[in-house]
Amino acid sequence: MAALYISEDDVRSLMDMEKSILITHKVFKEIASGRVMNAPRQRVRAPGVMLHTMSAANEYLNYVGWKAYTTTRESARFHVAIYDQESGEMRALIEADFLGQLRTGAASAVATEFMARPDSKVVGLFGSGLQARTQLQAICMTRKIEFVQVYSRNYENCSRFAEEMTELCDVEVSACHSPDETAAEKDIVICATTAKAPLFDGRVLDEGTHLNVVGSNHRSRREIDRTTIKRADVIVCDDIEQCKIEAGDFMQPVDEGITDWRLMHNLSEIVAERETGRATDDQVTLFKSVGIAAEDVAMGVQVYEYALEEGLGVDLPF
């Protein structure tokens, strides 16, 4: 059986956020069951380019796979490959830019379901790029959002993004000039940027705020300050071991004794209801996502199965 090459256009026609949330919820439930093995991201450099690789074995799906992508100053290119667990044969090679955007948003949706107050209505969003787009879509599918303020460094881009997302999510989205105003008086705050320094003063956060912090997966980048971490009553990671390697938001605060890895929980523990994502309405809760390969493999398997059903993709010569 030939492996299938599935293009970005095919992925966009086959997958959406609703499906992605269901797939991702299942991933974290299966991680808790012990039927998933993740290998953290590795990076190698050459002049002008960086290669990032990560892999996982999703035993419950009978597939193993990897995600690999290159980043340069001009662009990023993403691929996911999946292999049959029994035969070891490649089943699909998938263009995975949109796939990655969906799975990152879906992970925040799962965290939000367990960690944000049920009556959350107002969102502060940092970032106006592709990740910010799927983050907001995911949250609007998880809570009945009524108003969103968005901030990014380029106000023109921010305003255009606000107009597009108002229509896409059927909710009022307004561009904001002030980072602190964007974070203040919000039920949910989303950070989806490439910032290297904290975006806002943690003192402005209301009691009861839930944060999804997803932009940084490198030790040199931080989206939130020490105050935000100090104020967080519950801190949850998509994967604590991978955050120890990549979560710049936590590394210095841990070194300074502001928080401790032992106080944090994996999202899988929350989904399996072994730990509580929120105990009271006034708690500040924080979800940190760096992205794990098990999500990509699960999404890739579903795309492959949909592609077979729809007759999409191109056979590879092996």
Residue-by-residue pLDDT tens, the chain, 318 positions:
899 999 999 999 999 999 999 999 999 999 999 999 999 999 999 999 999 999 999 999 999 999 999 999 999 999 999 999 999 999 999 999 999 999 999 999 999 999 999 999 999 999 999 999 999 999 999 999 999 999 999 999 999 999 999 999 999 999 999 999 999 999 999 999 999 999 999 999 999 999 999 998 888 899 999 999 999 999 999 999 999 999 999 998 999 999 999 999 999 999 999 999 999 999 999 999 999 999 999 999 999 999 999 999 999 999
In the prediction, which pLDDT does 247 show?
95
In the prediction, which pLDDT does 307 show?
98
Q: What amino acid is encoded at 195 in this protein?
A: A
Those residues with Cβ within 8 angstroms of residue 34's Cβ, 6 or more apart along the chain or in another chain: none
Based on the fold, state whether residues 63 and 115 are members of the same structural domain: no
Based on the fold, state whether residues 72 and 172 are members of the same structural domain: no
Based on the fold, state whether residues 139 and 275 are members of the same structural domain: yes
Based on the fold, state whether residues 124 and 261 are members of the same structural domain: yes
Based on the fold, state whether residues 215 and 123 are members of the same structural domain: yes
Distance CA 316, CA 163 (A): 41
In the prediction, which pLDDT does 88 show?
98
Are 49 and 69 within 8 A, CB to CB? no
pTM of this structure: 0.96
Distance CA 144, CA 220 (A): 35
Based on the fold, state whether residues 206 and 305 are members of the same structural domain: no
Based on the fold, state whether residues 225 and 117 are members of the same structural domain: yes
Based on the fold, state whether residues 232 and 154 are members of the same structural domain: yes
Q: Which domain holds residue 228?
A: 109-291
In the prediction, which pLDDT does 63 show?
98
Distance CA 200, CA 205 (A): 9
Based on the fold, state whether residues 137 and 274 are members of the same structural domain: yes
In the prediction, which pLDDT does 190 show?
98
HSE of 198, CA atoms in CB hemisphere, 13 A: 16
Q: Is 233 exposed, middle or buried, given 0-12, 13-18 or 19+ CB atoms closer than 10 A? A: middle
Based on the fold, state whether residues 93 and 143 are members of the same structural domain: no
Distance CA 57, CA 266 (A): 18
In the prediction, which pLDDT does 219 show?
82
In the prediction, which pLDDT does 125 show?
98
Q: What amino acid is encoded at 203 in this protein?
A: R
- The total number of structural domains in the chain stands at 2
Are 17 and 299 within 8 A, CB to CB? no
Based on the fold, state whether residues 199 and 240 are members of the same structural domain: yes
φ, ψ of residue 24 in degrees (nearest 5): -70, -35
Those residues with Cβ within 8 angstroms of residue 161's Cβ, 6 or more apart along the chain or in another chain: 128, 132, 133, 150, 152, 173, 175
Q: Residue 75's domain is classified under what CATH number? A: 3.30.1780.10
Distance CA 44, CA 51 (A): 5
Q: Residue 213's domain is classified under what CATH number? A: 3.40.50.720
In the prediction, which pLDDT does 174 show?
98
In the prediction, which pLDDT does 1 show?
82
DSSP 237: E
In the prediction, which pLDDT does 207 show?
98
Distance of CA 234 to the CA centre of its chain: 18
Helix extents (H) in the chain: 8-14, 17-33, 97-115, 130-142, 155-169, 179-183, 226-231, 240-246, 248-255, 267-271, 293-310
Based on the fold, state whether residues 246 and 144 are members of the same structural domain: yes
